[in-house]
Amino acid sequence: AQSVAQPEDQVNVAEGNPLTVKCTYSVSGNPYLFWYVQYPNRGLQFLLKYITGDNLVKGSYGFEAEFNKSQTSFHLKKPSALVSDSALYFCAVRDRDNFNKFYFGSGTKLNVKP
């Protein structure tokens, strides 16, 4: 079965420091991986995705994510956090066997303190 896990419910970081939001996946074959962000009282916004190619994927708002096949991880990173990055972040994997299925993690709340 395909699944994705976000082991941290919450991540706290000081403004200006680097941030990492963790995601691990379990899929058969090569995964399609996604990150979304949800600001308070809003829908989910697409940040970035990994399909194939370079393991380091760059996305919106200065975020990037590194695909690590051996560790089955797809951690979201940003070199310097902003207070405005505070939001709920979701990792998702798309099922290659059933192309229509997207599996979402439980979400990680990022708090960036000034």
Binding site residues, another protein, CB under 8 A:
32, 34, 36, 41-46, 49, 51-52, 88, 90, 94, 100-102, 104-107, 109
CB of 49 to another protein, least distance (A): 6
Instruction: Tell me the closest approach of the beta carbon of residue 5 to another protein, in angstroms.
Output: 11
DSSP letters spanning 23-90: -EEE-SSSPEEEEEEE-TTS-EEEEEEE-SS-SEEE-GGG-EEEEETTTTEEEEEESS--GGG-EEEE
Q: How far is the CB of 13 from another protein (least distance, A)?
A: 19
Compare residues 3 and 17 and give the one whose CB is closer to another protein.
3
The Cα–Cα gap between 26 and 92 comes to 11
By beta-carbon proximity to another protein, the closer residue of 99 and 114 is 99
